[in-house]
A = this chain, B = another copy of it.
Amino acid sequence: MLVLIALLCAKPAYSEDGYELWLRYHPLASTQATAYRSRASQLIMASSTPTQAAARDELLRGLGGLLGQTPRLSDTVTRDGAIIAGTPASSPQLARLRLDTGQLGNEGYLVRSTMVDGHPATVIVANRDIGVLYGVFHFLRLLQTEQPIDHLDVREWPRIKLRVLDHWDNLDGSIERGYAGASIWDWWKLPDWLEPRYTDYARADASIGINGAVLDNVNAEAAILTPTYLQKVAALASVFRPYGIRVYLSVRFSSPMEIGGLKAADPSDPQVQRWWREKADAIYQLIPDFGGFLVKANSEGQPGPQDYGRTHADGANMLADALAPHGGVVMWRAFVYSQANKDDRAKQAYEEFKPLDGQFRPNVLLQVKNGSVDFQPREPFSPLFGAMPKTPLMMEFQITKEYLGFATHLVYLGPLYQEVLSADTLVDGKGSTVAKVIDGALDRHTLSGMAGAANIGTDRDWCGSTFNQANWYVFGRLAWNPTLSARAIADDWVRMTFTNDEAFVRPVVDMMMGSREAAVDYMTPLGLHHLMAYGSHYGPAPWDTSPPRADWRPAYYHQADRHGIGFDRTRTGSDAVDQYAPPLAAQFNDIKQTPEQYLLWFHHVSWDYRLRSGHTLWYELVAHYTHGVDEVKQMQETWRRLDGYIDPERYRQVAAFLAIQEKEAQWWRDACIAYFQSMSGRPLPPGFAPPQHSLKYYESLSFPYAPGTNPSALGSH
């Protein structure tokens, strides 16, 4: 027997390489499997459309892997434990059940235990095929996480309409801020060769409800709109279509000049308008369900409408008018700040866009980063959320860890996302959470969206590490329902990715839930931000004066001097606080009421200022940095105790990466303490170890080959 298995499972040097993500479908413990098998005796499911076929294949693949047995395919229910999946339109049996599918919309589904033709059965029903596919993934997740399935009554639908991954992939195969290898889009061999990996990408996205992919970098190249590349885009779209994923493109605002031969790209120029209309028509000829454009304009050197004295609304609306006849949308980024504008960078997006509220076409979404600076380990939510009731605001999160340790640091972003989504803007009384702003509930927008800058590349495990996969996963789950708990999602992910063994699941979920706060502590505690090295954003460089722009220099943000540290954004400072609703503004304006996690974001504070702990700021700063490192050591200890619960391949990589994380956390702590001590002139509080090296040493380090840096676009995104 074992011989036979060896025969059939001959494997390369390592097998558990992370490629399968959370869709591993490895055999369940036999007791569970036995129970589930009796609930998967036969399958009644159409497969006449590509999406129906994808759903049925996934269900058979999942059940086959998890239970070691696939249900018999049948047309009618003839035994207990049948599964019936489909839409009332595709399945007469389901139609006869007259289940209430109102409120489910086009993407929702029911998964319910019921009697069919006298037999206990499980039905997966939706109004559209794609809902059935989502329902299938939900049902499989219940098995993967070993939930009871005897009395199911699941009613699910997405709260957010556009759930999109932004791929910052360049046409040369590199990825800006990518730490997991090169672009998985093999532009060179497209459209002639469709890698099987494209299908697995679509499966993974669909399994968590992601329904859109922006294929190219927001720092866009005009070439993506040439016929040659549109053919390649169309080929990818054809792979993704059955999985409910629409393709979008980042477009360069000056494309009409670069590939259209026009003299200018002025949105008020009829020639320019025609060029975009004809380009949109050509795209929809190839891709009838094309999603639309993502635009980074007049930001960090990108061209835009302001080059011609027009507003962002003028630019967005021109593109929106070209797309509208086809049902496409424009996702216009609010991430703008100007070298010319000497005002607080954190205020500029708000100042730029709030006055434009109400001026955008109905098919325009404004895509706003979660914070007002740039994907820092922690930022207060952007004041734009809640400030533009007449405009659908789309959340932009970062999944790739540009500022959170690249590929190797174990940092679960669920708590960061949840912190932002559950933040209360108070713009419309208590409970006006950011989640309600972006899901459209607060201002009754039908158009809504959430985007995540992807962490996906050609690395075999897709994300550069197994734990980075959790960030892709939690983004999708929260885009589907922004009120879900990051902990519950982590629990699902750990079970699907590793094991259901409680002795492993509990400590690992705890470790994940604490990991983001640890990173905040060893990088930028107490509201500090943007202390990272210029360009690469790798490692600490609070001293760095090399960046060509003041607002790219760490000192711009920490403002440390002999007396204190922090950015005064109160009314006596930049007055950024008044971009928030009055009650929040008042709170942030008052150092006593400001949550200490945002202290140095809003206030310039004396080194000797006493925090709630009774300790001075200087003491707490050192304490937080030290605690961050201790937390990483604790994570290593936790992981050491878990050896043997999972495959050695992934176990060893996690252990090696935790060692790198500890080394780099120590480096962050020591370099920042050394630098800030040179400012504060204070002695190190008793009981804290001094930095391992001199400030000079830390300043001397350089990393010319740091990954993810796009030479064409230093700074950020």
Contact = CB atoms under 8 A, between A and B. Distances in A.
A196 B653 CA distance: 10
16 contacts: A1-B1, A6-B64, A7-B27, A8-B9, A10-B24, A10-B25, A10-B27, A14-B196, A171-B705, A181-B181, A188-B707, A192-B656, A192-B663, A193-B408, A193-B653, A223-B704
A5 interface: yes
B181 A458 contact: yes
Interface string A381-409: 00000000000000000000000000110
Please report whether the interface of chain A is mostly helix, strand, loop or mixed according to DSSP: loop
Given A182-B182, A656-B192, A12 B20 contact: yes
Most chain B Cβ neighbours within 10 Å, of A13, A182, A407, A460? A13
Interface in A197-231: 199-200, 203, 223
A577 to B, nearest CB: 40
Nearest to A229: B705
A353 interface: no
A88 interface: no
A5 B6 contact: no
A192 B14 contact: no
A63 B10 CA distance: 11
Nearest to A179: B188
A658 to B, nearest CB: 10
Contacts of A64: 6, 10
A188 B459 CA distance: 14
Nearest to A707: B188
B8 A192 contact: no
A357 interface: no
Interface residues of A, number: 55
Contacts of A459: 458
Interface in A470-493: none
Contacts of A194: 656
Contacts of A689: none
A194 B200 CA distance: 27
A173 interface: yes
Contact of A26 (B3, B10, B181): B10
A189 interface: yes
Contact of A182 (B1, B187, B458): B458
Given A181-B458, A660-B193, A203 B5 contact: no
Going nearest first, the 9 A-B pairs with the smallest beta carbon separation are A10-B65, A7-B68, A7-B27, A14-B196, A3-B68, A193-B656, A13-B200, A171-B705, A192-B660
Contacts of A189: 407-408, 660
A625 B521 CA distance: 67
A3 B67 CA distance: 9
A68 B4 contact: yes
B5 A4 contact: yes
Interface string A318-336: 0000000000000000000
Nearest to A172: B705
Interface string A590-611: 0000000000000000000000
Nearest to A4: B68
A498 interface: no
Nearest to A657: B193
Contacts of A10: 24-27, 64-65
A376 to B, nearest CB: 22
A595 to B, nearest CB: 36
A114 interface: no
A172 B19 CA distance: 24
Nearest to A26: B10
A346 to B, nearest CB: 31
Contacts of A188: 705-707
A169 to B, nearest CB: 12
A587 interface: no
A543 to B, nearest CB: 21
A637 interface: no
Interface in A1-47: 1, 3-10, 12-14, 17, 19-20, 24-27
A9 B11 CA distance: 10
A581 interface: no
A69 interface: yes
Contacts of A196: 13-14, 17, 649
A416 interface: no
Given A192-B656, A458-B459, 4 more contacts: A12-B200, A172-B705, A189-B660, A223-B704
Contacts of A12: 19-20, 200
Interface string A630-669: 0000000000000000000100010011011001000000
